[in-house]
Amino acid sequence: MVTAVSPFCLVLIMQFLPAFRRMPAHIRGEAIEGYLFIMPWLAGLLVFVVGPIIASFYLSLTDYEVIRPPTFVGLRNFDQLVNDRLFWQALKVSSIYVFTSVPMGLVLSFAVALLMNQRVRFVSLWRTVYYIPTLVPVIASTMLWLWIFNPEFGLLNMLLALVGIDGPLWLGHTRWALPSLILMSLWTVGAPMLIYLAGLQGIPTDLYEAAEIDGAGVWVKFGNVTIPMMTPVIFFNLVINMIASFQIFVQPFIMTEGGPRYATLFYVLYLYQNAFQFFRMGYASALAWVLFAVILVLTIVVFRSSALWVYYEGELRQR
């Protein structure tokens, strides 16, 4: 309904904006059409994204139990965060997950992409095989991995037993539960692999030919042509996966509920528990804003560092 009515209002309001009125008639007409076309998206953005963001910031400054009106408490929620051991535990768990699963995923998906870029038989089939796990609904894959990690009947411990290793309790042990979920994250390397593959196929072959003429071997070509040319893609995958990994929720929610003994209490899971199970929506909103700040800072750091390691063809660097 908002989407349906808002174009009408927009057109009416624009008629009276000075800058808009100064436009020549034909440009004004184009502008109206342009805004009308983006209006459904714009209305959705305002109502379903910008609105909740503003609301959550206000709620982070309140004591809000959802079913009762919020009470303004200033910065008390943020103050409580500092002394909340579970907040620090959740931040630690998510950080360990991000700083291990993201690099591992980037390396593995890049390696698989290199393999999938070779001229081998049935390469289309192999590419499909590696990509399929990303299409499996997360609930289904989670149930599958619960079975794989089962210490008594699971596939993983059965394979370890074949080489004489007595496998751990995986999700049931405080030391192994988080590594289990990190291992499981590699299940979806197919998505970044596909992006890497597109990047690899976009590298001009004349660069490799020029390197070969200069006597470069496989590793030299890899280090001096492939890697530099792929850095924009690596940069993209790094940023996207880092942000997504900080927001992991479904897997710990279904598989471990944050346990055993908070070993897999991921940040967003703790946020959800506070919001809907503990009646602490104001506190959960504060948690959300802290997570936003953490991700923002890390993203800025990655962007700033990109000047040192990301290579764009045709760019001029200041020395």
Partner 1 sequence: MKLNSGRSRFHTLLAISILCLFLFSACAPIAAPAASGPGPAMVEIRLASYGLGDAWNNTLEQTIDGFREQNPNISVKVEFRPIDAYWDKLQTEFAAGTAPDVTINQMNWVIPGAARGMFVDLVPFIEADQVDMDAYFYDMEPEWGWKGGLYGGLLYAGGQVLYINKDLLASAGLDFPSAGWTWTDMLSYAQQLTDPDNDQWGLYISPLNPPYWGASFIHGAGGAVLSDDRASCTLTSPESQAGLQYIADLIFEHKVMPAPVTLQGQENPFLTGKVAIYFGGTWQEGQIRQAGFDWDFAHMPAHPDTGIRSVQMGSNAWSVLSTSEHVEESWQLVRFLMGEGGQTGMMANGVPGLTAVVESDDYLALHQPQDISVVTSDFANYGHDYYPTPDTGEWWSAVGQELSVVWSGEATVEEATERACAAVEEIFARRPAEWGQ
Binding site for partner 1 (CB under 8 A): 1-2, 4-6, 8-9, 12-13, 16, 65-68, 143, 146-154, 169, 171-174, 255, 257-262, 273, 276-279
**Nearest-angstrom CA–CA distance, 190 and 249:** 20
Q: Cα–Cα distances in Å, from 244 out to 79, 121, 145, 180?
A: 27, 34, 20, 18
- Looking from the CA of 28 toward its CB, the CA atoms found within 13 Å total 14
Nearer to partner 1, 169 or 244 (CB): 169
DSSP secondary structure string, 17-52? -HHHHTS-HHHHHHHHHHHHHHHHHHHHIIIIIIHH
Judge whether 234 and 224 are in contact, CB under 8 Å.
no
Q: Cα–Cα distances in Å, from 299 out to 83, 143, 239, 302?
A: 26, 32, 7, 5
Nearest-CA neighbor of 76 among 92, 60, 91?
60
List, as own/partner pairs, every contact residues 274-280 make where C-beta atoms lie below 8 angstroms and the sequence separation is at least 24, other chains included.
275/66, 276/66, 279/65, 279/66, 279/67, 280/64, 280/65
Nearer to partner 1, 111 or 138 (CB): 138
Kind and range of the H or E run holding 62: strand 62-63
Nearer to partner 1, 1 or 120 (CB): 1
**DSSP tag of 260:** S
- What is the closest distance, in whole angstroms, from the C-beta atom of residue 34 to partner 1 in the complex? 20
At residue 103, what is the residue type?
P
